[in-house]
Structure 1
Amino acid sequence: MRDWAIGLSTGCFYQRSIFDCLETIGSGGFNLVEICSFPAHLNYHDTGAVHRAAERMASIGIEAYSFHAPFADHIDITSLDAQRREQGVKEVLVAAEAAAVLRARHFVIHPGPEHALYPTGDERWWRLEHVARSLSTIATRCQELGVLCVLENKLSHLLFGNIPDMMWILGAMTTTHVGVCLDTGHAYLARNLDSAMHKLAGYLKMMHASDNAGHHDDHLPPGEGHIDWVNVLRKLDDSGFQGSIMLEIAGRGEPHEVMAAARKARRYLRDQERKL
């Protein structure tokens, strides 16, 4: 059994400034976090704010394990329009620079646009080509910055939200300095959690842990949905996983209630580890 570090995504406070929740997170017992890039939480375009956040985290004793790249309809690194595609890459690279300032180890990115597209024929092929090239540029810059770019499996209704496409993209990229962040909630909704863990094991660097009942991406704390966490943790152990687990739970309730739910989820995962 491995004693993996369990951290918390600040996305549970995405509508609050990061400066208003770091102390809450630290005093709540978490010193390892993934930083959310939602503008109201942290404006990664504001270099001064990013540096202040890094200083505040250092003073509290919180480490940025990962930084989540921005995702929105207007950020499309697969676009057939070169100007739009290049603008999307540029936006992501600004966030990668912020991740480096925050000394994050990993830069988590969705490999494709945030809307449902079902292109066929040439359009699908060109979008695959574009996303591989765009991600190669991003991953190479991340390497220069001392950050590892990791691709997250998306919701299955989104373009490239399936494991075969993800494997193709990883193989088509021109750099090997890339990994994978497994999102348990997304994979469970796609009914392929076991398969995803098996096929992506060689690339797996970290995990987003959330639960659901198989119908919606509810971002429930582990243990409150239908995922078999003993099975998930056993597969992690069997694969030799050496990364960390980031709780990516919804921020339901007041901050103290969110932190109580996070601590409960961490205890639950520790209890499941003991069953291995």
Structure 2
Amino acid sequence: MELGINTDFANEPWELEEIKNKLREIAEAGFTHIHWCFDWDGDYLYARSEMEQIRSWMDEFGLKEKGLHASKGSRRFVERYAEAPHGRKDYLSELEPNRIAGVELVKNRVELVHVLGGKEIVLHMYLPTKSFEEKPEIKELFYQQACKSLDELQPYCKELGVKICLENLFEASAKDQIEQFDYLFGRYPADFLGLCIDTGHANLVGGNEFIKLLATRYADRFFCQHLHDNRGWGKEDGCGDAHRLPGECSIDWKETMKLVRASAYEQPFVMEVSKPEGEDCAHYLKRAYEAGVWMANL
């Protein structure tokens, strides 16, 4: 069965040998695809030689690419906008040199996924909700900068045949995110801009009903996925953004997979999960593969 998993399932190694070893372990567990997630948070730029090196490792282990988690730039305020200090290479920044640098960072990931053989990148677009509430005029500036960057990215993405998929996040309400996606999907075509449904994030915002809303309202834009489980917010095991294996917590996977089947999403299914501390990688990947098969068979 074709299944994909995130490369950073056991955190992010910095040694080249360990990065290669992680790809080997993924392949040995039976996975056919990876979702490249290394360096998703930060301003690291991949050289072409590195891209080709990664592709050679994938070819060696018989792995294919299914999407890639792009970086939105260095750490920054999530709920506020146009306030110092600023993160670096931020494609949403109101500071033009920084915004332009952010566009170059996203282009770097577009090139990377193209070299690896994938067709989509996943991108976070955090909504500065506190600033929106306190200064309504900030919303216009925010979307002005966001659209300026997307306008600049669109021809490059089309040239390489890569879509940008915005990910639903847990830092903003369902209402704010629906407004965001409705506006942007109304402005840009489906062959450029789509949606990555993160089931865990959606469960934190609005439970199974929000997963259903995203998957039905944007069925024709559903091109990428991060499948993982949690129990919502609380004190019990698996609460918060836990990235647990499908079936371990409270998401209705039978209904979720029915929604996936009815959408524009093209297999393989991709999990974005995190290995518990102390568990052996091989043992965890075996469990992850079994969970993926169970999920896909639904």
TM-score in same-fold range (> 0.5): yes
Q: Given the alignment of the two structures, is residue 266 of structure 1 paired with residue 292 of structure 2, yes or no?
A: yes
Aligned pair in 2 of structure 1 residues 160, 53: CA closer, same or farther (>3 Å)?
farther
Q: 1:44 to 1:80 in 2, by over 3 A?
A: closer
Secondary structure in 2 matching 1:118: helix
Asked if the contact 1:131/1:169 (under 8 Å) is kept, the reply is no
Q: Which moved more, 1:233-242 or 1:197-206?
A: 233-242
Runs of 4+ in 1 over 4 A off after TM superposition: 158-161
Normalised by the size of structure 2, how large is the TM-score?
Answer: 0.80
Structure 2: unaligned runs, 5 residues or longer: 76-86, 234-239
Q: In angstroms, what is the RMSD of aligned CA positions?
A: 2.6
1:94 aligns with: 108
1:109 to 115, 123, 137: 123
Aligned position for 2:49? 48
Task: Identify if the C-alpha distance between structure 1 residues 251 and 137 changes in structure 2 by more than 3 Å, giving closer, same or farther.
Answer: farther
- Cα distance in 2 for partners of 1:103, 1:214 equals 35
For the residue of structure 1 that corresponds to 2:94, the secondary structure is coil
* 1:225–1:88 distance in 2 versus 1, CA, 3 Å: same
Number of the residue aligned with 1:26: 27
SS at match of 2:262: helix
Percent of residue pairs bearing the same amino acid type: 23
- 1:214 maps onto 2:211 in alignment: no
Q: Which residue of 235, 245, 248 maps to 2:259?
A: 235
Match of 2:248 among 224, 235, 238: 224
The number of residues matched between the two structures is 267
Q: State the SS of the aligned residue for 1:162.
A: helix
The whole-number CA distance in structure 2 between the counterparts of 1:162 and 1:244 is 26
Structure 1 residue 177 displacement after superposition: 2.0
Residues 159, 14 of structure 1: CA spacing in aligned structure 2 closer, same or farther, 3 A cutoff? farther
**Preserved CA contact (<8 Å) 1:76 1:112:** no
The aligned counterpart of 1:181 is 196
3-state SS, counterpart of residue 182 of structure 2: helix
Letter in 1 for 2:30: G
1:80 is aligned to 2:94: yes
Alignment of 1:248-267 (within 5 A): 248-252=272-276, 253-267=279-293
Q: SS of the residue aligned with 2:9?
A: helix
CA shift for structure 1 position 44: 4.6
Moved more, 168-177 or 191-200: 168-177
Cα pair distance change 1:176/1:32, threshold 3 Å = closer
Alpha-carbon separation, structure 1, partners of 2:251 and 2:102? 34
